[in-house]
Amino acid sequence: MNKLIESHTKNGITNIETKDFIYKLNDGSTVAGKQITDDVNLSNIPRKDWVIFIPIDQKIYSFAYIDKSDKFDDDKSMIVDILNSWKIKK
Mean pLDDT, the chain, integer: 83
What's the pLDDT tens digit per position in 27-60? 888 999 999 998 888 778 888 999 999 998 899 9
Question: In sequence order, what DSSP letters do the residues of 4-49 get, joined into one string?
Answer: HHHHHHHTTEEEEEEEEEEEE-TTS-EEEEEEEEEEEEETTEEEEE
At residue 26 the predicted structure's pLDDT band, cuts being 50, 70 and 90, is: confident
- pTM, full prediction: 0.76
CA 27, distance to chain mean position in Å, is 23
Domains of the chain: 2-85 (3.10.450)
